[in-house]
Amino acid sequence: MILLNPKQHDRYYPDERSRQIMRKTIAFFENKGLKKVKEDDHARAWYADFLEFVKQEELFATLLTPAGYGEADDCRWDTWRNCEFNEILGFYGLAYWYTWQVSILGLGPVWMSRNEVLKRKAARLLKEGNVFAFGLSEREHGADIYATEMSLAPRPDGTYLANGEKYYIGNANLAPMVSTFGKMADTGDYVFFVADYRHTGYELIRNVTASQNYVAQYALHDYPITQAEILSRGDDAWNTGLNTVNVGKFNLGWASIGICTHAFYEAIRHAANRRLYDMYVTDFPHVRRMFADAYTRLVAMKLFALRAADYMRSASPEDRRYLLYNPIVKMKVTTQGEEVINLLWDVIAAKGFEGDTFFEMAARDIRALPKLEGTVHVNIALIVKFMPNYFFNPGEYPEVPQRNDPKNDDFLFDQGPARGLGKIRFHDYGPAFETCDLPNINIFKEQTAAFRELLAFATPDDTQQKDVDFLLALGEIFTLVVYGQLILENAGIYEVGDDLLDQVFDFMVRDFARHALNIYSKPGSTPRQMDYCLRMIRKPAVDATRFGRVWEEVHALKDAYEMNP
């Protein structure tokens, strides 16, 4: 089974240390139990016990120290392994995942820099069990880093004074290295430098959220910085900021997968063991439909995210296809996570509000993930830059295999300039859709062909291309095509059966039709574009026998997992 089940965690790992990390992490949370997890959540308690566990087991040190910088041979930055850890933390609670996630972001500018002294310091701090922070956003400008007001002013002795505020910065209450983005006061050049929360020039103003996490507003007041504390300057600093987000935002999809998986087990266990009107809740046809939809969407989320990780690990200066797949994990997987929770919540209804359930926490936290590391809209606006080459100018690339090998992902910290997105080319998406001759996949192919024809023969005019609302609608359909492609590429690798795969494309066909109707209904859509949209509005192939077999697979999970009390 592709879904995580902590009670039957017998997955393949290429080395024993990786296996032990995952099993010990699962054991930590199962021993803690759901009651204590919920008590800490409601009390907004700082997760000191989890961080102590991380320290004692040297988890972050092993997982987040690139090869060559850690003391142990098994230290490496391995995206496949990190995805596993991401999913497990999300499964037990977003707060635990968050401190890991912002440490990843905080370490990005360090590992991407040429400052070897600070790299060695980061490795030492990781081994000591510390967390890290990424000081990028500001209260007045959000993630608009062009407008950053944090400044670094030179002094006659060759040192600098840092002044300014940062806002919404996780771990900034406890990070001895806060990677802080700003501008040089004299030249306006961008700069990354490190600050320490313990310094007298560092003011921790407040926690801006009401959660277990500490998401800080902090200020630097004449904070002294030497050359030794500067990570990067100029174009290097700018590229570092964007490339760090490329690494970090991918993880949000995995948090969503973990949250949804736990919520799914809890919901189906409740519904399948509850009788109403002399029937089990799961005997109602509409309940079966909602559970099947939630399950297939969740399976699709994981298939896509796993395949995107393969491309991320195989990336090079000549192959930057990951720059399309990453924001789709961030945007599409997280919004699908919201849809999964909505479907499950419609089944369990008031149960989803009860304070002793995981679901109560999941329903709240799942909303955060599409809104962090760039909104859905920001990521779609990025995605549409790739659309012309994806559909009309494919390139030749060697086939990317499954990448679960135990290797350091060197390229992630040497991505190069964060520009030229419109020049990136992709392999032809057609062959992936030819691998399966299934009814709903064939309908999806016809919808895709109609969309491609819309782009070619009813091309959005200059006004439409400047209309962000119209472009976002196009981007939703483009995203769906890429989503389907990578799901199909991965279906063979993970031996997904035809019934389940065709049921996945049942919802894909429906979603395609919904987005086509959205474009059709836009005030600026032309009659010709509307005609193409009508060709995309299709009904999935109905097969009650196939659905019955998929439902049996779903229903079989009713007692598969329950967290220790």
To which residue do tokens 């997890």 refer?
A: 37
- Taking residues 358-376, report their average pLDDT: 89
Q: What confidence score (pLDDT) does residue 374 get?
A: 66
Read off the pLDDT of each residue in 127-152 and give the average, rounded to a whole number.
92
**Per-residue model confidence as pLDDT tens digits over 468-525:** 899 999 999 999 999 999 999 999 999 999 999 999 999 999 999 999 999 999 999 9
Q: Render pLDDT for 54-64 as a digit per residue (tens, 0 to 9).
A: 999 999 999 99
CA within 13 Å, CB half, 29: 25
Task: Compute the residue count for the chain.
Answer: 565
Residue 292 has pLDDT above 90, yes or no: yes
- pLDDT, mean of residues 79-86: 97
Q: How confident is the model at residue 81 (pLDDT cuts 50, 70, 90)?
A: very high
- Going by pLDDT thresholds of 50, 70 and 90, the confidence category of residue 440 is very high
Please state the rounded mean pLDDT for residues 401-426: 94
Report the CATH architecture of 6-127.
Answer: Orthogonal Bundle (1.10)
Return all residues near 357 (Cβ < 8 A) that are at least 6 apart. 38, 266, 351
Q: What is the mean pLDDT of residues 99-113?
A: 98
Among 49-63, 133-147, 356-370, which stretch is predicted with the lowest mean pLDDT?
133-147
d(C-alpha 76, C-alpha 231), whole Å: 21
- Amino acid 62: pLDDT: 98
Strand 279-280 to 133-135 pairing: unpaired
Q: Check the CA dihedral 364-370-372-378 and report its sign.
A: negative
**CATH topology classification for 133-236:** Butyryl-CoA Dehydrogenase, subunit A; domain 2 (2.40.110)
What residues does 166 pair with on adjacent strands? Answer: 218
What integer pLDDT is reported at residue 22 of this predicted model?
98
| CA separation, residue 303 to residues 154, 248, 463, 489 (Å) | 50, 19, 37, 9
Buried b (16+ CB within 10 A) or exposed e, 277-310: eeeebbeeeebbebbbbbbbbbbbbbbbbbbbbb
Q: Where are the domains of the chain?
A: 6-127, 133-236, 427-558
Rounded to whole angstroms, the Cα distance separating 537 from 81 reads 40
Q: What is the pLDDT of residues 296-322, one digit of tens each?
A: 999 999 999 999 999 999 999 999 999
Question: What helix, strand, coil percent values describe the chain, rounded to 5?
Answer: 60, 10, 30
Q: What's the mean pLDDT when you consider all of the chain?
A: 96
Digit-coded pLDDT (tens) for 201-223: 999 999 999 999 999 999 999 99
Whether 157 shows a pLDDT value over 70: the answer reads: yes
* pLDDT greater than 80 at residue 1: no
Please give the pLDDT value at position 403. Answer: 96
